Structures are given as structure tokens and as C-alpha cells.
Structure 1
Amino acid sequence: MRSLKRVAAWAAIAAGSLGLMAAGPAPAQSSDPIRIGSTLALTGPLSATALVHKLVGDIYVDDLNSRGGLLGRKVEWLVKDDQSKPDVARTLYEQLVTSDKVDLLMGPYATGAILSAMGVAQRYNKMLIHHTFGIPSLAKYDKHFPAWSVGPKPEETVPTTLFDALAASPKPPKTMALVTSKFPSVHFMSLGAREVAKKRGIQEVLFLEWEFGNRDFGPIAARIKDANPDFVFVGNIGLEGNMLLEAMKKIDYVPPLHFHLYPAPGPMVAAPEGKNALSVTIFEEHPPYTDNPVAAKFVTEFNKRAKAAGFPYTKVEVQAAASFTAWQLLEAAVTATKSFDDAKLADWLKKNQVPTIQGVLRFDRGNNYGDDLMRIKQVQDGNWVTIWPKEVAAPGATLKM
């Protein structure tokens, strides 16, 4: 269900029954903390986005501890830098389980690292909640749970939502250039978008790929300009989209419409070239999302800390919301089961729906995925705002050309 009326009702229940981000006296804590281990891409090409996830985790853990922690035990979050490398993430998750002996795991950022972490979790029968895994068909472990609500077949449903938004515009595109990174989840989604566009009768005038880690986007920008499409679909992650837009600027080319799959949210919105950029979202900092009191409190705290940290974009958007949701799922499962046992937590999540700031999540469809709650947003007047579907769009917001 895309309507946020039901979400707001669920959120009110969550705030009251689970204590999520709620004020109140903290119960007495035992002397032994609960240790939660994870990695994040604190350095490397994914760091611009992973740092958002780090800030969100710090906010959530601080709030948890102010409310007495989990089941009255203080929470310690042990975070290691996987350097944006899946093989490093695999080694570090092994260390977290075997050497550091953490009680629970929280997933890293990006599909490759999450897949590595999932393999370790499966080896040791640990539950893994994660927030940005983009290829559901590869997530075959029965104790993994995605906070990124893309549904079991995002390669079909996500681009369908995008092209629905474009079809509702005053001038729907007839031609498309699709350029994409070979980063696994990005490439997977981009190939799905090709098929959806073809079924919609949109002519593909250019298809190009680049290796993840590429920094020379000049030739790609030139090919796009020569193709002269109505719409540019950019399968990017992190700062790749910014580098491509900068390369376009150097040759005096401005794409008429441009979509970026997984951009670094701050740098994209801050760049003049990012004007009118489109992307996917599950949450943006405006009504009706912020009508949820849990979300509103989180927004206030994130704004303050992001500004203090010098973030280029200090508002809550899709990355921050996905990370917050992951922590909500963990707290909900622990609170409901009154347990830290991985098997009990996983069993509860499979059988129950969880209200979160992005919507109500469930895990009873393919490979523990649930509904596709993805929406479309656009950079407008220096902010990301949801424009589609209409029932979750920012007040007065429509697609700008």
C-alpha cells in the first residue's frame, strides 16, 4: 500500500509500544552491553554515501541507550572500514563474529559488501539486517532481512514506477540513452530498465557501460551528446553521477531529463549540474513522510548532526531513511521476542509486519522481500522532493523538465 495514512497509524503504534525514538525514563541496565558489529565503506568510492549510514547508526544507538538500550542493556556499535571492497568486508565480518564475538550483526552499505557479509552470517547462523541490497534473487539466506524496500523483482517494478512518472509528464520522452556502471546491483537494475523502456515503446539511442571505479567520463558524455536523447538513464552509484554531469558541462551539454539510480545524495543536490536530476527514494524530508512523529524527531536530530559534520546535504533522504529503518527492524524484533537469539529474531521478522518511517515492511515474499515501496524524487530548488506517486509527493511538487 502506497498511502501513508496507514503508515502514520502504524508509526503511532510503534512509537507507543516499541519506544522507537520515544522519550521516557530509561530502565535499569545490566553491566554487560550488547555488541552489534558491522562494516561501512568509510573510505573508497562509496564513502560519500556510507558516511550517511554511519551518522544514522550513531544517532539511533545514542537514542537507544538514552532509553535504556535493548532489553535494559546498553548497546555498543562496533564499526569497521571495509574500504568499499567486498573482499575486505568479508574478512572483517569474520573478525566481528570470531574475534570480536559481537552479539548481533548489522549489514554494510552496497550490494557487493552485503553479499559478502551475508555469506559470513550464513556460515555462523547469524541474522543479518541490511539496507541497500539491490539484487533480491541473490539473497538466498533465510536469516537476511532487507530494509531497502525494493520488492522481490526490482528490475521490473522500480523502472516501471520511473516510467509511469515520466509518462505522466507534459512531454513524455520518446528516446533514451542508458549508460551504466558495471557495479553489480546497478548493472542489474539498469538492464531491467532497458527491458521496461522497450516494452513502453521508448527508443534506445545509446547504451554504454563502464567499470566501477572509472573516473574518466569525458568519452561517455560526448557519446550521450551525439545521441541527443530525450532522456538519460544513468546507472550510477556514489559520485559517478556527479563526475558524468561535470564531464557534460565541459562540453556544453545539458541533458533534457536525467535519472540517477544510486547517487551520493548530498553531492548531487549541491551541484549546479544536478538541477532537476531524478532518482529513487523511500523517504524525503517533507510531508506526508514527516507527519510521522518518529520520523519528525529523527529529522531534527539528523539535521543538527549532519550540519555539525559538514555534510553537503543535511536533510534526511533515501539513504538515511534506509539505514534508520534497518535499526528499527532490529529493535522491533528484539523488543517483541525479548531475546537476542538470532533464530528467534529471524523467525519473528518472517511472521510479522514492522512499521517504519518509510512504510510497513514485511518479509513473506521471494527471498524474504516484501512490497516495493520505491518512489521517484527530483532535485528542485536545492532539495530532493518526491514527485511520484502523487499521494506521497511533496506539497505542490510535480516533475520539472
Structure 2
Amino acid sequence: MTIDRRVFLAAMGAAGAGALAQRAAFAQPKGEPIRIGGTLALTGPLAATALVHKLTGEIYLEDLNKRGGLLGRPVEWVLKDDQSKPDVARTLYEQLITSDKVDLLIGPYATGNILSAMGVAQRYGKMLVHHTFGIPKLAKYDRQFSSWSFGPTPEVSTPNLVIDALASTPHLPKTVAIVTSKFPSVHFVSVGAREVFKKRGIKEVLFLEWDFGNRDFGPIAGRIKEAKPDFLWVGALGLEGNQLIDAMKKIDYAPRNQFYHYPAPGPMLRAPEANNALSVTIFESHPPFTDNPIAAKFVKTFAERAAKANLPDTAVDTQAAASFSAWQIIEAAVTANKSLDDKKLADWLRANKVDTIQGKLRFNGPGNFGDDLSRVKQVQDGKWLVVWPTDWAAPGAKIRVS
């Protein structure tokens, strides 16, 4: 399901105006802090992206406490470093619940760590709101809720969305090479993409996998060049996409058309060979997304704070938007119920929708997932621009393929 742009703008504009008008009415929060516990990969191979989530949470809580906190009380984030390791995340969520005795939980970054946190939350009956869970079919716990709005079957909907975007041009590819990291989320979608491309009549000429943490992309680049695909699908995470681009450059090969699942957006923009590369997104820092005043304010604040923190990416995109939305979900549930009771909050979320900067989220589908709100974006002359569906495209932007 897609959200109509006009409906989105009307709802978000009203919500934003209401929140801004209410801000002056809030008194300073008082009393014992409400403690929200979670972990992030502050060190290890996932740290570069997790730092985006850390900054987003800090920005959100600073603003939340200026608006009166939750239930009139200040909100405190008890954050621990899971070192990018699911087993460490599991131990730390046990500590958060049993030793730190936090009131609520927010999930870590990345599918493996979230799954570990989910198991702990289930043992203790705690609600878990999380933001980057990439394999919805594994979300079996009824009190977990995701702001990762790629729908309940991204292994089907994501490749179909990309093919629909390509089909809107005169140059729908006839062949595809699919190469992917074995990192759980991107691998899951890439494997699903094989069947989708087949059903859509696009011939697979190469399927190749690598272990997460691989640094030698030369052999992979060579296999891609030999296959000569019309379209290259890359199930890469973070800087893996740039490493593959560099390897292809070294052998004087440039794919005709290329897609990267979860790239590091800033570094990819700075690679000339990535011009016209495609990806998927739930939010970009341009209209119509920034027509929402809450989103516009966050985009501005994030850019300023990210620059001061020397983060390589200062624009809000999928990662920061999903993280911001997770905090919005928690705030909406607590405010609507005037409660911190995990069962009451979880029951309310399954029965209601929440307005977020990426759209209106619902949690009554398979695994408590809702609609797929993703869009296709493309690197165009040094900027990431949404190009599909057309009613969500950046002003004047059209998809480019060859």
C-alpha cells in the first residue's frame, strides 16, 4: 500500500502545527525521570550507522523534555554499547530490565541485535519499539513494534518497487546480476529478489554472496564484469557498496545500471562512479517530506549537530527517519494512554495508527508490521533524490537509466 502525497501532507501539516502550538503550553517536567533503556552498536563494524541513531535519539529527547517530557516527568535514555554483537545486546537488555529497572525499552540497531533484544523483552513481558528490523517474518513477539516501514514482506515488495521504477522508463533491463553480503537483512531481501526478477521476466546471469566483514571485492567485481548484466543488484550494507564500486573502477568496469540496498549515503554521494545509482528510502531531506514542520525542524537540527559531531552524513534519510519515528511511537503510546504499562501500550499500538515523519504507521499486519512506505531514490549530480513513485519525487527529479 502507498500513501497519497496530499493526504500525507495534510495529516502531517496538521500534526506538526498542533505539536508546535502545544509546545508553549508545557511546563518544565518534574519528578522522577522516566527511564527508557536500549543499546546501540557504539563500537564494532556497525558503529558508523549506529551513531546516526544515537544522535537522533539525543535530539528527540532534548526536544521532548523541552515540551514537558512524558506524563509531566523528564525522560532519560539509559544507553549501553552492544559492540555490534547480538550476544552482548542480549546480556545488556537483561541488565536494563533486571538491574537498571528501566521503565520502557527501545531497540538496538540491526536485525541480529534486535532479535536478541526481542527475546529478552518477551521473557519479561516488556514492550520493545525498534527501528531497523529487516526480516519481519522473524518478529513473533506480540509486544514488539517496528518503525522500519518496508512492509511485512520486503523480500517481495522491495524488488518489485525497484522493477516498477525501472519499468517506468524505456529501458527495463533484460538481465540482472545479484550480489549480496550474508548480513541477515540484505541477504534475506536479495534472495527474495531472485524469484521476483524471475517472475518479472528478467534473466539472472549471476548470483554471488560474501561474508559480512569482507574487504576484498576484487574477485566479485571481476565476476560481475564477466556476467555483463543490464542491471546490478547489490545487497550491501554501509561502506560495502563503496568498496565494490572501487573494485569495479580498478578493472575499468562501470555497470550500466546499479542498485545498493542500504548504502552509506554520504560516501556513496562522493563517489563519481555512483552517479545514477539507485537505492530505497523511507525519507529524504527534500519536499514533500520536509513540508511537514516537525520533519523540517529535525532535518535542520540534525544537519547542524551531525556537522559538529563530524559525522560523514549530515542529511536525514532512512536510518535517522526510522530512529526518529521509533521515538514518536513511544511518545504517542505513552501520551494516549497516560501510562507506562507495557501491556496497555502494546494493545493500544496494535489498535491505532501513529503519525510519524515518514507517514502514518499501523501495527496490525503480520508480525505487527504495516504498509510498505518505501520509495526509490537515486544519486543525481551529488544529491540523493526520490524518483519513484512520481508523486513522491523531489521537485523536477526523474529516474535516469541507460
TM range (shorter): over 0.9
| 1:339 equivalent in structure 2 | 339
Equivalent residue number for residue 261 of structure 1:
261
Please report how far the alpha carbon of residue 88 of structure 1 lies from its aligned counterpart in structure 2 after TM superposition: 1.2
* CA distance in structure 2 between the partners assigned to 1:396 and 1:92 by the alignment: 47
1:296-311 paired onto structure 2 within 5 Å = 296-311=296-311
The answer as to whether partners of 2:245 and 2:273 remain within 8 angstroms in 1 is: yes
Tell me what 1:182 maps to.
182
Looking at structure 2, the residues matched to 166 and 120 of structure 1 have their Cα atoms a distance apart, in angstroms, of: 42
SS of residue paired to 1:256: coil
Moved more, 7-16 or 130-139: 7-16
1:141-161 residue CA offsets vs partner (Å, 9 max, x unmatched): 000011011111111111111
| Alpha-carbon distance in 1 for matches of 2:77, 2:21 | 17
* Match in the other structure for 2:94: 94
From the superposition, tell whether residues 183 and 20 of structure 1 become closer, same or farther in structure 2 (CA, over 3 Å): farther
1:133-282 → structure 2 map (5 Å cutoff):
133-282=133-282
* Conservation of the 8 A alpha-carbon contact between 2:28 and 2:67: no
1:312 is displaced (CA, Å) by 2.2
Q: Which amino acid aligns with 1:389?
A: P
Q: Is the 8 A contact 1:111 1:134 kept in 2?
A: yes
C-alpha displacement of 1:41 = 1.3
- Partners of 2:267 and 2:315 in 1: CA distance: 12
**Structure 1 residues 151 and 20: CA distance shift in structure 2, 3 A:** farther
Q: How does 1:33-44 map to 2 (within 5 A)?
A: 33-44=33-44
Matched, 1:327 2:327: yes
Residue 398 (structure 1) shift:
1.1
Deviation at 1:263, TM superposition (A): 1.3
Describe the SS at the equivalent of 2:247: helix
Number of equivalenced pairs:
400
Partner of 2:3 in structure 1? 2
Between stretches 186-195 and 26-35, larger displacement belongs to 26-35
Distance in 2 (CA, whole Å) between partners of 1:22 and 1:128 is 28
Distance in 2 separating the partners of 1:117 and 1:145: 12
Map Cα deviations across residues 169-225 of structure 1 (whole Å, 9 max, x no partner): 231111111001111111110011111100111111111001111111111011101
For residues 20-57 of structure 1, the C-alpha deviation after alignment (integer angstroms, 9 at most, x for no partner) is: 79642432423210111111111222122111111111
The normalised TM-score by structure 2 is 0.96
Letter in 2 for 1:6: V
Deviations 1:343-397 (A, max 9, x none): 1111110100111111111011111011111111011121211010001010111
Q: Which residue of 2 aligns with 1:76?
A: 76
Q: Is the 8 A contact 1:334 1:345 kept in 2?
A: yes
TM superposition shift of 1:132 = 0.8
Q: Structure 1 residues 265-274 or 336-345, which shifts more?
A: 265-274
Query: Any unmatched runs of 5+ in structure 2?
Result: none
Unaligned runs of 5+ residues in structure 1 are: none
- Aligned partners of 1:64, 1:42: CA distance in 2, in Å? 23
Given that residues 28 and 65 in structure 2 are in contact (C-alpha distance below 8 angstroms), is that contact kept between their aligned partners in structure 1? no
CA distance in structure 1 between the aligned counterparts of 2:276 and 2:77, rounded to whole angstroms: 37
Distance 2:388 2:281 in 1: 10
Identity across the alignment (%): 67
Tell me how far 1:292 sits from its aligned partner. 0.9
Q: What's the CA shift for 1:317?
A: 0.9
Deviation track 1:280-322 (CA, whole Å, cap 9, x = no partner) reads 1011111111111111111111111111112222111111111
> TM-score, normalised on structure 1?
0.97
Task: Report the Cα offset of residue 267 of structure 1.
Answer: 1.9
**Structure 1 residues 374, 191: closer, same or farther in 2, change over 3 A?**
same
In structure 2, the CA distance between the partners of 1:21 and 1:137, relative to structure 1 (3 Å rule), is farther
Superposition misfits of 4+ residues, deviation over 4 angstroms: none
> CA separation in 1, counterparts of 2:69 and 2:20?
11
Rounded Cα–Cα distance in structure 1 between residues aligned with 2:268 and 2:105: 31
Q: Which amino acid aligns with 2:48?
A: A
Looking at structure 2, the residues matched to 21 and 382 of structure 1 have their Cα atoms a distance apart, in angstroms, of 37
